[in-house]
Amino acid sequence: MVGFTPEKERNLTPIDYGIAGAVSGAVTRALVQPLDVLKIRFQLQVEPVKRTVTDGKYHSVLQGFKTIYQEEGASALWKGHVPAQILSVLYGVVQFTTFEYLTKHAYSSLPSQMKTEKAKPVYHFFCGGLAGSAATLVVQPMDVLRTRLIAQGEPKTYTGTTQAIRLMYKEAGLRTFYKGLLPTLLQLFPYAGFQFGFYALFNSMWKYTIPKPKVDKQVTGRHKTVISQAFVCGALSGLCAKAAIYPLDMLKKRLQVQGFEEARKSFGKVQHYKGLRHCIVAVIREEGLVGFYKGLAPSLLKAVSAAAIIFTSYEITCDILDASKS
């Protein structure tokens, strides 16, 4: 079970939780990167993302994948994968290690009425939000870097990760790597909180609605039980969390590519924003409220897939590490 549970406490150290977080981050990133590339392309397009509107470059999920493949090749679906993979591994290490630490210490400090199964989603929300915020501060530079690499068209402004880092530093120093930090934190705290909170909630619902199967005492038997529960509960938590905070994710991506307009011209209209407030006003004025939900379809596909894989791989890795010490 993700988070501290006294009746199911594992014999794991913070290093073990970090390893499990790294594994879950690496596996998830490798599998869902194409959806992330498409989501970011949709979010950065000012024109409507609709089949009936042809002004913009992308009109639908299938058309978007087809266009990227035809114009840039299959490898373009993994653009920015190196920094994204580093980001995912670091994020997984910091997030899960921090979350396990916070839930353990929060549980010992909570009043007795808050130590029930019904209250778990509440304090998991706050612990998850804090863990996600801590991880975000560590990986924000890599997130900005991968967004720049994914966002560029042809001809490329950046030919590789090293060159991109050098040019971005010349642009505005370290501040370049923290562009969009405010909307990122505004988005990540509730998103990570909802993800862990909903995961705890759906696990509680699973426990009371799904009959507990008979399993062997072998590790493989436990894995079969973990996989089905973690996968379903993880997928549902990802869906609910992403739907709740999506507009902030779109604003974050728009702000992260400011100062990078030249490489965006081949994708359609380029907009300059002075800050978060100006970005919000401009999107409402030019694109309407629907503009805040551009890229929602691939984003939900990614969120559901990613959360299911993250929680499943984390649970399995923790189980394996725990079993190896028994």
Cβ neighbour number for residue 169 with a 10 Å cutoff: 13
Q: 3-state class of 113 per DSSP?
A: helix
What confidence tens digit (pLDDT) does each residue in 197-254 have? 999 999 999 988 887 665 544 545 455 557 889 999 999 999 999 988 888 878 877 7
Q: What is the pLDDT of residue 95?
A: 96
Q: Which two tokens stand for residue 230?
A: 């973690």
Report how far residue 211's alpha carbon sits from residue 226's, in angstroms, rounded to the nearest whole number.
14
Q: What is the pLDDT of residue 248?
A: 82
Alpha helices, H only, 116-258 = 120-151, 161-172, 181-209, 219-256
Nearest to 310 by CA among 32, 6, 14: 32
Packing angle between helix 181-209 and helix 219-256, nearest 10 degrees?
150
Report how far residue 183's alpha carbon sits from residue 276's, in angstroms, rounded to the nearest whole number.
7
Report how far residue 13's alpha carbon sits from residue 100's, in angstroms, rounded to the nearest whole number.
10
| N-to-C CA span, the chain | 17
Q: What is the pLDDT of residue 194?
A: 96
Report how far residue 190's alpha carbon sits from residue 128's, in angstroms, rounded to the nearest whole number.
8
Report how far residue 82's alpha carbon sits from residue 250's, in angstroms, rounded to the nearest whole number.
22
- Tell the burial category of 152 from Cβ atoms under 10 Å away from its Cβ (0-12, 13-18, 19+): buried
For 78, residues 6+ apart whose C-beta sits below 8 A from its C-beta are 33, 34, 37
What confidence tens digit (pLDDT) does each residue in 75-112 have? 888 877 777 788 899 999 999 999 999 999 888 888 88
For 114, residues 6+ apart whose C-beta sits below 8 A from its C-beta are 122, 123
**Cβ atoms of residues 33 and 76 within 8 Å:** no
**Cβ atoms of residues 320 and 47 within 8 Å:** no
Regarding pTM above 0.75, the answer is no
Residue type, position 171, single letter = E
What confidence tens digit (pLDDT) does each residue in 219-235 have? 454 555 578 899 999 99
Report how far residue 42's alpha carbon sits from residue 150's, in angstroms, rounded to the nearest whole number.
11
Q: Within the chain, which residues score under 70 in pLDDT?
A: 7, 54, 153-154, 212-225, 259-270, 326
User: 272: left (phi > 0), else alpha (psi -120 to 50), else beta?
Assistant: beta
Cβ neighbour number for residue 262 with a 10 Å cutoff: 10
Cis (ω within 30 of 0) for the bond into 48? no
DSSP state of 217: S
Q: What is the pLDDT of residue 313?
A: 94
Longest C-alpha distance within the chain, in Å?
A: 61
